[in-house]
Structure formats: structure tokens, C-alpha cells
Amino acid sequence: MMRAGQAANVVPFTDAEETRADDVRRDELRPLYREAVTLVERLHRRLLDVVKDEFDRRGRDDVNAVQALLLFNIGDSELTAGELRTRGYYLGANVSYNLKKLVEMGYLDHRRSRIDRRAVRIKLTEKGEEVRAVVEGLHLKHIATIEQIGGIGPGEFQMLNKALNRLERFWTDQILYRL
């Protein structure tokens, strides 16, 4: 038992020991980080496959999976292409192309902003709303079965979402602060 005024026998790490401990930690993180990056990429592609499959089952080939998710993410909002990006709905490098095609095909309505005539505001048409409803139905079907079939419940999703949000913040900081 330590008495007041006595220092614990704490031996500080030497610089070499700290460096070795940092190297061990990095060696432990390296495969986990790479697996996470691979999973994020693979999951995005798999989500697109799942959406495409749903539309294929319905005999619909009028929109692709990226366009369907874009319409879903727009939802009830009226916004600009720039707002799509800042809200995190930016899917792929061809957002302008996909927006143009969706307008041409009648899924989106567009008009010039009253405030900034250079900006174009977009919103779903009735046809776009139908696509959004298909994706919403797919999400509801997954929500009803993911815990029983996928074995993923609220606790796992909370931990997953927290970790993914932190990873996104880390990557954002790498860009913003040139770390």
C-alpha cells in the first residue's frame, strides 16, 4: 500500500520502446484498415446490385441503380446538384450526367432558382416518386428481416454507424486539413 507522498514505481518507456509499441500498433491496424476500405467499396457495389436486382424482379430497366438511389435520396426535397453533394447524396462521378438523364426521362423536374438564376433546383416528378417508393419498399423489407436473417440488430448498427461516421470524418479531415 502506498502512503501519501510516495511515488509509485513507474518506469517510463524509453524512446525505443515507444517506437516499437507504435510499430506493433500500426502492424495491428494495417490489415484491419485495409479490410475496412475494401468492405466499404464492396458494400457500395453490393448495394447497387441489390437495387438493380429489385428493379429486375419488377421488370423495370428504365433507370439504373445509381439513378434509383439518387431519386431515393432526393426524396421530398427540392435542391440543387451542389446540395446533393453536401448532403452526402452524391453517388458516383457522373451526378450531372445522371441528373440530366433523369430530367430527360421525366423522373425529375428542374427550374432555375428565383434567388440565384445560375442554380437549377430539382425535385421528383410523379414518375420519380414511383422509383423512390420502390427503393423505400426495399429498405422496409430489409429492416423487417435483417435482424432475424442477417443477425444485425440495433446495437451492431449503432457501433457500425459510429465507426463509419468516424472514418468519414477522418477522411474528410485528410482532405480539408491536408493531413
Q: Which residues pair with 75 in a beta bridge?
A: none
Output the domain CATH number for residue 151. 1.10.10.10
* Strand, coil or helix: 35: helix
The whole model's pTM is what? 0.82
Q: What is the CA radius of gyration of the chain?
A: 24
Q: What is the pLDDT of residue 171?
A: 93
| 18 assigned to some structural domain | no
Nearest C-alpha neighbor of 60 from the set 69, 48, 70, 51: 51
| 15 assigned to some structural domain | no
Sequence-separated (6 or more) residues with CB below 8 Å from residue 82 = 119
| 12 assigned to some structural domain | no
| 11 assigned to some structural domain | no
The DSSP code for 79 is B
| 3 assigned to some structural domain | no
| 53 assigned to some structural domain | yes
Q: What is the pLDDT of residue 82?
A: 77
| 9 assigned to some structural domain | no
- Domain of 127? 24-177
How many domains does one find in the chain?
1
| 13 assigned to some structural domain | no
Q: What is the pLDDT along the chain (179 residues), one digit of tens a residue?
A: 455 555 556 667 677 777 888 888 899 999 999 999 999 999 999 999 999 999 999 999 999 999 999 999 999 998 887 788 777 666 556 788 888 899 999 999 988 777 776 778 899 999 999 999 999 999 999 999 999 999 999 999 999 999 999 999 999 999 999 87
